[in-house]
Structure 1
Amino acid sequence: MKGNRFWAWSALIFGLIYFALPLIGMTEFSFRMRRGEYSFDAYRVVLADPNFRATFSYSVTLAVLTIILSVCLTVPTAYWVRLRMPRWRPVIEFVTLLPLVVPPIVIVFGYIRLYNTSSLLPLTGTITGTNALLVAGYTVLSLPYMYRAVDTGLRAIDVQTLTEAAQSLGAGWFTIMTRIILPNVLVAVLSGAFLTFAIVIGEFVLAALLNRPAFGPYMQLIGANRAYEPAALAVISFGITWACMGLIQLVTRFSQATRASR
């Protein structure tokens, strides 16, 4: 037991050092913009840049739209598969794993090839159409995380009993979905939503090839032309990601505490 505990702690400490040292070095470098002393000049320059505010707000808007579309797509699908089509579950899981196998550059080139201005449904010729394609692409990229989060939440409840009880009281499918199923898997949905938000904020390939002013291409542009500002941007992006992870833990603990109090 002591030997196993020693190797477990050794692996944990090695992992912490492996991930923490580059982050510490990058953070320390971002404070060196003013020669001879530490300062927040790089962060001040980045936060004062109008392009930062424009690209970040654009990506946040698309992230919210992506989360809404993902929830509308995955929650009914996962619910219906678990309720009526359990044999199709391996097929659906395989389909949701495809975005992890197919690179984003393949997806975006397929979009451009299919939805260019010469196709039957032109979308890339307008800003609104291109934004719609970008949201669709982000939804595909977030599908493995959102679907598994929702499916895990559905495993924790008795879908069959809840559905039959609601139907016996005269509830329709829309009422069942919005007032019974969704509130019971809200924590799982929020977990998938925070992961989706983190993915959209840092995504580069889809936004760059569709020529949209997103936060990912802005980070790459700053990284190619500046020295200290890219480090500050990386720290900010890392902080946003960890904030999303912390919110997941906070929401989960709050939900568990609420259930325990009941």
Structure 2
Amino acid sequence: MKRAAAWSVLILGMLYFILPLIGMVEFSLSMKRGIYSLEAYRVVLADPRFRQTFSYSVFMALMTIVFGVLLVVPTAFWVRLKMPGLRPYVEFVTLLPLVIPAIVTVFGYIRLYNTSSWLPLTGTIMGTNLLLLFGYATLSLPYMYRAIDTGLRTIDVATLTEAAQSLGAGWVTILAKVILPNVLVAVLSGAFVTFAIVMGEFTMAALLNRPAFGPYLQLMGANRAYEPSALATIAFVVTWACMGLIQLVTRLFKHDRTAR
């Protein structure tokens, strides 16, 4: 009886999430009346704005991942090795992006770095892109930090560091050739989540007036019928592809370590 009830709850939960997705995909295939077709996807993929915004968001996602890894890996490593007492405070700071809305953060950026401020970053395209990069890194910080911190828990950081230092390695070598390879799965997990966040983010990109995929998706949704469903399906596939890559890389890494 309990098993049947558990299966019933599971099936109902799956239907609750899957049925809207099926409806969205079915609607995206109904652009031509009476038949299913990929016409909406053809129109979307042929739109130069789609290619521009999608490539821009992919580039910004990759830059955000690089910046996040360079920021979080040394920080989490140093806190765990030298300053464990600061860990609760660092964790509190990394949780702030979940509490402070993105619109508040981006308005703060605009207020501090507008063209009449001491550092007018919004006055140039490169400066605005840099602000957006910082904003994306802030949004992904809770996930990137916790993924890497969890990876550091699984290894003996102190022993590995002492062994590397005894062989004459410096701090950069220790981080790049000792610590990073041992937490690679955790880093990739945070990286894929960051990629998914950046691809779907709307608020910061829209208010900073950057040609990102999120604002383009919103614009299409306000003016078209079938194309937004096709775009949402593409975004959904990209997000789940990232989740699948996390699982695949994790399994391959575990298998490789077991084989060794």
Structural mapping, 1:50-69, within 5 Å? 50-69=48-67
Residue identity opposite 2:117 in structure 1: S
Task: Find the aligned partners of 1:166 and 1:89 in 2 and give their Cα distance.
Answer: 24
Structure 1: unaligned runs, 5 residues or longer: none
Q: Does 1:223 align with 2:221?
A: yes
**Residue 76 of structure 2, aligned match among 75, 78, 87:** 78
C-alpha displacement of 1:260? 1.0
SS at match of 1:55: helix
Residue identity opposite 1:42 in structure 2: A
Structural mapping, 1:18-97, within 5 Å? 18-97=16-95
Task: Find the aligned partners of 1:258 and 1:28 in 2 and give their Cα distance.
Answer: 41
SS at match of 1:57: helix
C-alpha displacement of 1:9? 2.0
Q: Which residue of 1 aligns with 2:131?
A: 133
C-alpha displacement of 1:10? 2.3
Structural mapping, 1:1-262, within 5 Å? 3=2, 5-262=3-260
Percent sequence identity over aligned pairs: 73
SS at match of 2:40: helix
What TM-score do the two structures reach when normalised by structure 2?
0.99
Task: Find the aligned partners of 1:145 and 1:78 in 2 and give their Cα distance.
Answer: 13
The number of residues matched between the two structures is: 260
Give per-residue Cα distances to partners, 1:36-56, cap 9 Å, x unaligned: 111000000000100000000
Give per-residue Cα distances to partners, 1:191-246, cap 9 Å, x unaligned: 10000000000000000000000000000000000000000000000000000000
For the aligned residue pairs, the C-alpha RMSD in angstroms reads: 0.7
Structure 2: unaligned runs, 5 residues or longer: none
Task: Find the aligned partners of 2:45 and 2:123 in 1 and give their Cα distance.
Answer: 32
Could you list the structure 1 runs, at least 4 aligned residues long, displaced by more than 3 angstroms after superposition: none
